[in-house]
Amino acid sequence: MKLPRVSGMETVKAISRIGYQVKRQRGSHIYLCKEGSNHRELDKGTLSKILKQAGINTEKFTELLR
């Protein structure tokens, strides 16, 4: 399954559904357990690394976006 193109805010919302919380925001960066950026669309590689660090597979992430 291919990763969908999503915004940084959609990613934060999806990941927060499994217990991650926003610690703070500085400029365009939102700090959870790991640092993520809040740009319009995340690069595929960036999103892939965020999901890998969070232990989320592509199917689970797509499910969390709904």
34-50 pLDDT, tens digit each = 544 566 788 889 899 99
For the cut 90, the answer to whether the pLDDT of residue 59 exceeds it is yes
Cα–Cα distance measured from residue 20 to residue 4, given in angstroms and rounded to the nearest whole number: 20
What is the domain partition of the chain in residue ranges? 8-65
What residues contact 65, with CB distance under 8 A and at least 6 apart? 4, 6, 10, 13, 14
Question: Are the CB atoms for 24 and 31 separated by under 8 Å?
Answer: yes
Helix (H, G, I), strand (E, B) or coil at 1: coil
Cα–Cα distance measured from residue 35 to residue 53, given in angstroms and rounded to the nearest whole number: 10
For the cut 60, the answer to whether the pLDDT of residue 17 exceeds it is yes
Going by the DSSP 8-state scheme, the letter that residue 18 receives in this structure is T
Confidence of residue 33 (pLDDT cuts 50, 70, 90): low
Check whether domain 8-65 has CATH 3.50.50.60, yes or no: no
